[in-house]
Structure 1
Amino acid sequence: MGVTSVLLCQGCKPWQGLLLTASLLTCWHLSTTAKITIELLPPHVVEGEDVLFLVHNLPENLTAFAWFKGRTNEKHGIALYAVVSDLHIHSDRETLYSNGSLMIHNITQKDRDYYTLRTFNKHAETVSTTSTFLHVNLFLWNCGRFVTSSQPSIESLPPIVPEGEDVALCIHNIPENLQGFAWFKGMTVFRHLEIGRYIIGRKSSVFGPAYSGREKLGSDGSLRITNVTQKDAGLYTLRVLGTDMKSEEAHVEIQVNSSLSPCCTPPTSSKFMIKPIPRSAAEGESVLLLVHNLPEELISFTWYSAMYRVPAFKIVEYHVIRNITTWVDEYGRRGMVYANGSLLLQDVTEEDARMYTLETLNVNYTVERAHVQFYVNKPVKEPFVQITDSTVNAHKSVTFTCVSPDIGVSIHWLFNNHDLPVTERITLSPTKCGLRIDNVRVEDAGEYQCVVTSRAGDAKASHPVRWP
Structure 2
Amino acid sequence: MQVSSVLLCQGCASWQGFLLTASLLTCWHLSTTSQVTIELVPPQVVEGEDVLFLVHKLPENLSVLVWFKGLTVAKHAIALYATDIREIVKGLMYSDRKTLYRNGSLLIHNVTQKDTGYYTLQTLNRNGTIVSKSFFLHVNAFLWNCGRLAASAQPSIESLPPIVPDGKDVILQVRNLPENLLGFGWFKGMTQIRSHLIGRYIIDENPGFSFGPAYSGKEKLYTDGSLLIENVTEKDAGLYTLGILSTDMKSEEAHVEIQVESLVFQCCNSLTTAKFMVEPVPQYASEGESILLLVHYLPEEVISFSWYYSTYTVPTFKIVDHHVIWNITTWSDAYRERGMVYASGSLLLLDVTEEDARMYTLETLNIDNKVERAHVQFYVDKPVTEPFIRITDTTVKANRSVTFSCVSPDTRISIRWFFNNHNLQLTDRIKLSPSKCGLRIDNVRSEDAGEYRCVVINRAGKGVGSQPVRWP
TM over 0.5: yes
Q: What secondary structure sits across from 1:75 in the alignment?
A: helix
Deviates more, 1:397-406 or 1:75-84: 75-84
Q: How does 1:108-127 map to 2 (within 5 A)?
A: 108-122=112-126, 125-127=128-130
Give the Cα–Cα distance (whole angstroms) in 1 for the partners of residues 358 and 332 of structure 2.
17
Give 1:283 shift.
0.8
**Structure 1 segment 124-143 matched on structure 2, within 5 A:** 125-143=128-146
Q: Offset of 1:117 from its aligned partner?
A: 1.7
What letter is aligned with 1:45?
Answer: V
Contact 1:71 1:131 in 2 (8 A): no
Aligned residues: 447
Check if 1:37 corresponds to 2:37.
yes
Cα pair distance change 1:307/1:36, threshold 3 Å? same
Note the aligned Cα RMSD (angstroms): 3.1
1:307 counterpart residue number: 311
Report the Cα offset of residue 366 of structure 1.
2.0
Task: Give 1:63 deviation, angstroms.
Answer: 3.4
Is the 8 Å Cα contact of residues 149 and 409 (structure 2) preserved in structure 1? no
Q: CA deviation at 1:80?
A: 2.8
**Deviation string for 1:310-365 (max 9, x for gaps)?**
44322223344544433334222212222322211111111211111111223333
Structure 1 residue 379, shift from structure 2 partner? 1.6
Contact kept in structure 2, 1:142 and 1:434, CA below 8 Å: yes
Which residue type is aligned with residue 382 of structure 1? E
Task: State the SS of the aligned residue for 1:443.
Answer: helix
Question: Does the residue aligned with 2:355 lie in a helix, a strand or coil?
Answer: helix
Say which of 159, 166, 169 aligns to 2:169: 166
Alignment of 1:175-324 (within 5 A): 175-201=178-204, 202=206, 204-259=208-263, 269-324=273-328
Verify the 8 A CA contact 1:4 1:75 in the aligned structure 2: no
Q: 1:387 aligns with which of 388, 391, 394?
A: 391
Corresponding residue SS for 1:333: coil
Q: Kindly indicate whether the alpha-carbon contact (under 8 Å) linking 1:275 and 1:291 is maintained by their aligned counterparts in 2.
A: yes
1:203: Cα distance to partner?
6.5
Q: Deviations over 1:139-183 (max 9, x none)?
A: 222227897634322111111122222222111222223222222
Give the direction of change, closer, same or farther, for the CA distance of 1:287–1:33 in structure 2 (3 Å limit): closer
- What is aligned with 2:22? none
Q: Is this contact kept in 2: 1:385–1:402, CA < 8 A? A: yes
- In the alignment, the residues of structure 2 paired with residue 458 and residue 5 of structure 1 have an alpha-carbon distance, to the nearest angstrom, of 71
| Contact kept in structure 1, 2:294 and 2:347, CA below 8 Å | yes
**Counterpart position of 1:68:** 68
TM-score, normalization: structure 1?
0.86
Could you state the TM-score of these two structures normalised by the residue count of structure 2?
A: 0.85
Could you tell me how far apart the structure 2 residues matched to 1:314 and 1:71 are?
Answer: 47
SS across alignment from 1:221:
coil
Q: Quick one: which amino acid aligns to residue 131 of structure 2?
A: S
Using a 3 Å threshold, how does the CA distance of structure 1 residues 63 and 2 change in structure 2: closer, same or farther?
closer
Task: Identify if the C-alpha distance between structure 1 residues 203 and 74 changes in structure 2 by more than 3 Å, giving closer, same or farther.
Answer: closer
Contact 1:118 1:126 in 2 (8 A): no
Question: Does the 8 A contact of 2:3 with 2:15 survive in 1?
Answer: no
* Higher deviation after alignment, 200-209 or 442-451: 200-209
Q: Which whole-Å CA distance do the structure 1 matches of 2:272 and 2:338 have between them?
A: 29
Find out whether 1:51 has 2:43 as its counterpart. no
What is the identity, as a one-letter code, of the residue corresponding to 1:159?
P
Does the 8 Å CA contact 2:242/2:254 hold for their aligned counterparts?
A: yes
* Secondary structure of the structure 1 residue equivalent to 2:410: coil
The ranges of structure 1 where at least 4 consecutive aligned residues each deviate by more than 6 angstroms after the TM superposition are 2-8, 144-148
Q: Are residues 1:342 and 2:357 paired?
A: no
Structure 2 residues without counterparts, runs of 5 or longer? 19-30, 265-270
Which residue of the partner structure matches residue 151 of structure 1? 154
- Give the distance between the partners of 2:328 and 2:101, measured in 1 at CA: 63
